[in-house]
Structure 1
């Protein structure tokens, strides 16, 4: 009964359920006559309808109410248990507010009473067509958002989506930037709570422009407040999107913290190189090197030791708090890792420094040792758990070579 439209992408299979076969056949013919895309199949009872649905894909169910064994509402509940999104239209000859109310409570898509007029089939065809269109539109939106989320989740950029100021989505990169463990920790929070107070007016104005002007914004720089209180330097760009059917803003965030820190470090290093070239004594060279290392890194403890007749004696020491760490006036121990590194002439990073018996001072997690040719040793200690990043080591090696050049100049 009924035929599909060959090759038509908008064909729709309708399952008609009515315990009166003659009436069901007439209804199917009228529906197919009014919509070429309709392929209407009919069965005469609820259990058979469920068996049909188990083996055949259907776009809409149209069911009578009064049927033996299983009425239309019972069938509706059974269909909803199987496929909640499948449109279900109750098309019944028995009309009452009680049935209509119960059908709505049970999740019916539409409710239509059978009538004797010929235009009832036009109304039914419209109701079916609209129900199928809504379902397909919803499925298309879900598929589109599924593809969107797949692409965004895999993006190396940090991305979030917000309605107004409420965050509704973040990808894994954004989760890490926020300092969270899971995406759910950010959902429902206010976007502005992660913006430094001094930057909020500028960021809020940019958000307003995207929402109301419906255009992509330029990149804007601001400071992000992580969950752990750390401040990251970022820039972001907003784009208007539709998310879960609502107007929203997608924000791509780029973390510039390391890049900006590197720029500041290179600027400071350039200034230091000029200071070293003008240093008039070995002590001045040592103190300049200590100040430079403190400026270049976060919370380091720094020492420059000079070779005096084979012993490494303190030339200059210091740290971010301005206090020098205690060093035996007799010089570094002969069996220390510092002396061993000086003899090899090869720079070294010493992890787990705090646990060494030959450590110079407690509280230093990682030490960077740079032999200064035959002049001595540059010692830099990191109190943090992160140790020295590759860029930090590069800067310290440049500093070490510059100290060697300054000391060579003083010896000439």
Structure 2
């Protein structure tokens, strides 16, 4: 098989015929290696459909001609190496999972791959279980992408359904307010609803956004058309600013054409996006850590600096004692342990002390670790199996066989849905970083 040639491995479906195919594009300039890898993947997952390309250009041609769910590529190849291929794929197929599966590994290559947007980085080994790891990485990457796309499609359908929801409505004609509901007035901080009709609506818009909103306000959508969403800042009478998005649609009001505007508060969403971007940037450093303690410390720095939580610990599983031992903890976590146990913990020797404090086998932490499922406890301190009574809320995330990460608060209901999502993203990155260290 020459460079640039391709071979398609059609994998059999599951016994019930309902498995959704996972279309893998395997790129390696060594045909024998590619053939072996494809066959091993076939044996390990019956839903895989593998196409082999023996050069970067051939892979791009295949990608343009067919549907691909994941790319697995070698690094050292003539004409176009794996990183060059990654850059091309990232430019034109940004969310397509890309796994660099290479026999030549270095921190420099890993760092560049991560900065370019690689989904995963896996070095080739001489043992057969490397294919188990590779198959698992492929399956997880594809499942994550499909889940994200399904979520996006669901959100789009939801938005289409609530575009004209009466939750917050303003009706105007050429900028003159004709109607505003009570919900919008409460959101905008307007005590007297009659005030909406007495002032220029642009007075509630942040000065830096007024010109854009003015242009939209004076737009006249035709019947059957809708104006797209526009982001701006709403300024309340008390001086507080809220991020909002609004969308206009033509309606008939009092028998005459007018525009109905639906306004949504997206302040929390904006903050979530900001924190997620900061989280993604910060967690890249996890993959450069050279020990589990370094991974743990960097993870806790992300918890404190990016997620704003000050009480957190990382525990490693010790098979010899079948218990969890602390390998990293924030200062506030150490203070809580000292206050709750009455032990005077010297900061310079903190871990020498708390490493000896193994979790009882019947503790909540050990049970969650054994079950392997992330849990949030809003009644932690009231439980008989709790270790630190002064904690009210606790988020416990098992790091597979490596151990567990815990984040806590002295307040109840401290972790909302978005907090949990962000912590889950971090914990999955920690697992990936630890997997890389122990592969």
- TM-score of the two chains, using structure 2 as the length reference: 0.44
Specify the structure having the higher radius of gyration (Cα): 1
- TM-score of the two chains, using structure 1 as the length reference: 0.47
